[in-house]
Structure 1
Amino acid sequence: MKSPVEIRLYSARPTLDARPLKKRVGLIILSTDHTTEPDFQRMVAGPDIGVYVARIPFANPVTPDNLRAMQPSLIEAAALILPGEELDAICYSCTAASVVIGDAEIEAAIQAAKPGVPVVTPPLAGVRGLRALGAKRISVLTPYTVETSRPMASYFANHGFDIASFTCLGLRDDREMARISPTALVELARDAMSDDADALFISCTAVRAALAAIDIEKATGRPLVSSNLASAWSCLRLCGDEAARPEFGRLMTMPMARG
């Protein structure tokens, strides 16, 4: 029989950094989401910024009622992200649900678990992104049905945008929305873009529009704002990261107005 290994206790406590990473971004995503986490790892996470994820239950189809049903889960999800520690930003990554629940209601739920944390929702991030680009008249492309798209049209109109055109694809399952290829999105964007619009907004955090941003902007001749591009851009700027990332499109080169 081998003799027991002697374990030595180090006599001095090691010096600890204040944080493992300088900045922390929380991300609340749907249980069915295939897209947001890879997008944030590619566009936000880095040597100074960590992205920390919690998932909440969601049941397809994507309808206003099913989207609204996620609201009670928000407090618990936010509380699960680094409990007892501060975050620099937290994003609830569902565009259509943010519209039907309401930005203020989402902020209140998340801040009940994480007081004072800046809250990002994709539609409000989209509004700020479009304004940063100087857009006033926009085209909108969603993967949703007409029923789910209608509140989105009202949302942007209520934020002062003139909607030149609004196109929806009629899909009801967010897992199918994630399977629209970036190449197909370029052609869909070209078709959805009105000649007199200043910019295109592509809704839905499941849609892989961020992967096609450069090609979409080349095809349409106008800037693209998508749900995940706008959310990632907002989180970076809230973390104090002002670096331009032109490889992700024009929005990622812009500063974000505060307040």
Structure 2
Amino acid sequence: MKKNYRIGLVVPSSNTTMETEIPAMLQRKQQIEQEISFTFHSSRMRMQKVTKEELKLMDIESDRCAVELSDARCNVLAYACLVAIMCQGPGYHMESEQRLFNQTKQNQAPTPIVSSAGALIEGIQALGAKKVAIITPYMKPLTKQVIDYIEASGIQVTDSISLEIPDNLEVGRQNPMRLVEVVKNLDTSQADAVVLSACVQMPSLEAIQIVEDEIGKPVLSASVATVYKILKTLELDPYVPNAGALLSRKMVANASIEKGGRVHE
């Protein structure tokens, strides 16, 4: 009997990518594992400009979104606005995830919470990377806060590129294949892995595997890391084809060996 998983998405109101890239990856998975399926359910929090002030106001609305989505009895909730978490100081993803879980629990529907901020940190660590180079769409002061947050988790950021796009709708309109050229200006020589998009709104999925194959190092994004964490939370193998090293068969095999289990074929 097919098992359906309901994925709740806590979405910035101007985000147009979270509801495309995350479902795209999970739909790839269900195509190769036909005994499972996913449905997607969203609640939005208001945000237009990517500024620290708007992000903080938006974050307050995430409580309402969590309650609304818990009404649908989702299996997991994903809060995928990385910078809204990271601009509030190191470790805030843990506070946010606990607060949102408490909101669902008070609604008699305790639901696991995934944040893209926490997922990115976990994803980098899962790859065994100690140093990363990153690309963001943010203005440089916000990129600096993202770097500080990542480095507070014990991961060194060796180089970064800020595309400096303040309008969130414009971020979502970026051609993901542009990143194939942008990354050529990123110094990846000292990095163990590359974060091609440290923002769930900036499209990158189409370029992830291409860039990884070109540079010969693991490449991930905030969206890829979020899907990795969603699958781990649902106790499913975190394998999605053509989405980079973090969602590769090799990572599933390594996790299986650590647990003493076997890889699902």
Calculate the TM-score normalised by the size of structure 2.
Answer: 0.83
Give the drift of 1:107: 1.3
- For 1:188-207, list aligned pairs within 5 A: 188-201=182-195, 202-207=197-202
**Structure 1: which 5+ residue stretches go unaligned?**
1-16
The CA RMSD measured in Å over matched residues stands at 2.2
Residue equivalent to 2:262: none
Is 1:113 the equivalent of 2:113?
no
Which segment is superposed worse, 128-137 or 111-120? 111-120
Percent identity between matched residues is 23
Give the drift of 1:29: 0.6
Distance 1:246 1:155, change over 3 A: same
Residue equivalent to 2:247: 252
Residues 64-119 of structure 1: CA deviation (Å, up to 9, x unaligned): 1111111221111111115163x332111101001124213321331132124222
Residue equivalent to 1:171: 165
Of structures 1 and 2, the larger Rg is shown by 1
Is 1:79 the equivalent of 2:61?
no
Residue equivalent to 2:81: 94
Counterpart CA distance in 2 for 1:32 and 1:84 is 23
**In structure 1, what residue type is equivalent to 2:42?**
V
Is 1:142 the equivalent of 2:136?
yes
**Structure 2: which 5+ residue stretches go unaligned?**
31-35, 260-265
Residue equivalent to 1:12: none
Give the drift of 1:174: 1.4
Is 1:155 the equivalent of 2:143?
no
Residues 48 and 169 in structure 2, CA contact (< 8 A), matched pair in contact too:
no
More helix by share: 2
Give the drift of 1:232: 1.1
Counterpart CA distance in 2 for 1:126 and 1:134 is 13
Residues 88 and 238 in structure 1, CA contact (< 8 A), matched pair in contact too:
no
Residues 33-87 of structure 1: CA deviation (Å, up to 9, x unaligned): 1101011221125443322211111131x111111111221111111115163x3
Q: How many residues align?
A: 238
Counterpart CA distance in 2 for 1:207 and 1:163 is 19
- Runs of 4+ aligned residues of structure 1 deviating over 4 Å after TM superposition are 255-258
Counterpart CA distance in 1 for 2:245 and 2:204 is 14
Is 1:182 the equivalent of 2:172?
no
Counterpart CA distance in 2 for 1:91 and 1:223 is 23
Counterpart CA distance in 2 for 1:241 and 1:41 is 15
Residue equivalent to 1:210: 205
Calculate the TM-score normalised by the size of structure 1.
Answer: 0.85
**In structure 2, what residue type is equivalent to 1:26?**
G
Counterpart CA distance in 2 for 1:243 and 1:194 is 26
Counterpart CA distance in 1 for 2:179 and 2:43 is 28
The partner residue of 1:237 within 232, 239, 244 is 232
**In structure 2, what residue type is equivalent to 1:248?**
A
